[in-house]
Amino acid sequence: MAVKVDYSIGEIKDEARQLVETGKVDPHQPIYVLCQFIPPREWICVECELERNDYLLRDHICDLLAKDSWEED
């Protein structure tokens, strides 16, 4: 079984959006709650990608999704 070793910021946003839409997470929760849905060995890659894109784990999930919506306007 292959382990996914890299995540793009787009993939992270898509995953977060899906979790919000299905009600598994609240958009006002901190980004670090996403670690509950990503295997521990892969979480470090997610953390690094978030950091590269100027997100902090304490930022809210809605901050992660809001920037994406703003860029579409």
**Boundaries of every domain in the chain:** 9-72
Over its length of 73 residues, how does the chain's per-residue pLDDT go in tens digits? 455 568 899 999 999 999 999 999 999 999 999 999 999 999 999 999 999 999 999 999 999 998 554 444 4
Q: What is the pLDDT of residue 34?
A: 97
Return all residues near 15 (Cβ < 8 A) that are at least 6 apart: 34, 37, 38
